[in-house]
Amino acid sequence: MGFGEEKIKIPTNAGHTLSGVLFVPKDPLGQSLLVSSATGMLQKFYFAFARHFASLGYVVLTFDYWGIGASGGSREELVKNPYDLVHWGANDQAAAVRYLRERFPLYPITLVTHSIGGQLCGFNPEHHNIDRILMVASQTGYWGMFTGRTRYRMWLFWHVMIPWLSPPFGYFPAKRMGLFENLPREMAYQWMRWGRHPDYMMGDPGESHLFGELRMPILSLSFPGDTLAPEKTVDWLARQYSGAQVQRVHYTSEGLKPGHFGYFRPFSQSTLWQYTHDWITQGTWNT
């Protein structure tokens, strides 16, 4: 099935616009997908996933958060960026949901989140326009819930790397360390505070959240070999959506170990992507 790709600008309530790509099938299925990416990941990482689902008839929208890539990601813009992590959910993710709802008002929206994208849902005031959420390796980042070497790396990330490296640059220079895209300063600082607290974002007294207000079906996936989102950290985040219809799946079928990024790579097309299509269209996760 054919589809087109359209570069778009998504308006936000904060006044800036987000860079996005809309994948529109020629023979639509009547469903839309919104991909909310992991921290510092450019939207192009998700294009293979988006193109596959567009070929099945889904409208798919990818976008960069403000401060990432073409959405204000230059060094000059990063230094001036005043926004924190909550802004990515309350403003950016919300704007993308609103864009899809306004452009395709009759299509149910499935929000597909990767890692931090699933945390941002709890701050998204447009959650009432989301019909279902698939959380892929979305977790708490509190360092004490990790084990082995990852536990020490997480501690160093929150207590040393972010606070020491951000001030000289005016932003967190993640690209210099080969991690991911650079991050706005206030966003990195808030993420650091969360990562140090046993209750992660729920322990931030300065932020109100909407986690308990979400009511849609949520499928939360975790994977063997994922040191960045081990099973119990994904369990923790899933529990925060106390009012939703949450299904937790720790994927162990076919002997695969997708890790933190494998779900979105093409080798998952015949397994995880097919199961996702079945879950959206039939309401069942067949593994």
Q: Which helix (H) or strand (E) holds 101?
A: helix 94-103
pLDDT digits (tens, 9 = 90+) for 182-212: 999 999 999 999 999 999 999 988 778 999 9
> How confident is the prediction along the chain (287 residues), in pLDDT tens digits per residue?
799 999 999 999 999 999 999 999 999 999 999 999 999 999 999 999 999 999 999 999 999 999 999 999 999 999 999 999 999 999 999 999 999 999 999 999 999 999 999 999 999 999 999 999 999 999 999 999 999 999 999 999 999 999 999 999 999 999 988 899 999 999 999 999 999 999 999 998 877 899 999 999 999 999 998 999 999 999 999 999 999 999 999 998 777 788 899 999 999 999 999 999 999 999 888 76
C-alpha 279/C-alpha 140 separation (Å) is: 25
Partners of 183 in the β-ladder: 172
CATH superfamily placement of domain 3-282: Alpha/Beta hydrolase fold, catalytic domain (3.40.50.1820)
Q: Which two tokens stand for residue 267?
A: 């080798």
- E runs forming strands in the chain: 3-11, 17-25, 32-36, 59-63, 109-114, 132-136, 171-172, 183-184, 217-222, 245-250
Question: Residue ranges of the domains in the chain?
Answer: 3-282
Phi, psi of 208 (to 5 degrees): -95, 150
Handedness of CA 222, 223, 228, 232 (dihedral sign): positive
Query: b/e for 150-187, b at 16 or more Cβ within 10 A?
Result: eeeebeebbeebbeebbeeeebbbbeeeeebbbbbbbb
